Amino acid sequence: MQTIKITVTLATLALAAACAAPSTQHTAQSANHSAQAASHGAAAVASGAATVSAVPIIASGAALSVSGAAIESVGTASIAVGGEVLDAGLGTCKTVQTVPCVAPDALPRLD
């Protein structure tokens, strides 16, 4: 029983932040469907298979393309921390580091 418990826990951890790439087959299917969906009115769509370049657009202003509704507050959600708060020892310069210890800057602030 203990083995199962450990196994499930480890498996769960493995899933936590897998950053997994979609499978090739599914990617192609999605790209095709995305292109089809684009023909039904969504201007901001591009198929991965057919894209040859994508250049970031630096623009300011309001809406960039199709219109949309404002955020509806239809429920409540939370991004509150789950579990205990980490102690101050995590990841400090005293633990394993591959970079030299340097002093931090001030709190992040936008001009």
Partner 1 sequence: MKRFFALLVAAITAFTTPAFAGSSAAGHPVLPADEVAAFANRVQRDLASRGANVAIVSRVGRDPSVLPDGIDYTHVAFWVYAQITRADGSTGQGYRVYNLYQREGDLTQSDLVQDTPADFFAGAHSLDAGVIIPDPRLQRKLLAVIASPTYAALHNVNYSVLANPRTAQFQNCTEHTLDVVMAALYDTDDRAKIKANIAAYFTPQPVPINGLQRLLAPAASQALTTVDHGAQVGTATFGSIARFMGDNDLAAEIYRITPTALTRF
Hey, which residues between 40 and 99 contact partner 1 (CB under 8 A)? 42-48, 50-69, 71-87, 89-99
Q: How far is the CB of 107 from partner 1 (least distance, A)?
A: 6
Q: How far is the CB of 71 from partner 1 (least distance, A)?
A: 5
Q: Which two tokens stand for residue 64?
A: 């960039």
Torsion angle (degrees, nearest 10) of CA 21, 24, 28, 34: -10
Positions in 7-26 near partner 1 (CB under 8 A): 7-26
**Spatial separation of the C-alpha atoms in residues 46 and 31, rounded to whole Å:** 8
Q: How far is the CB of 61 from partner 1 (least distance, A)?
A: 6
Q: Which two tokens stand for residue 71?
A: 């955020």
Amino acid at position 108, single letter: P
Confirm or reject binding of residue 1 to partner 1 (CB under 8 A): no
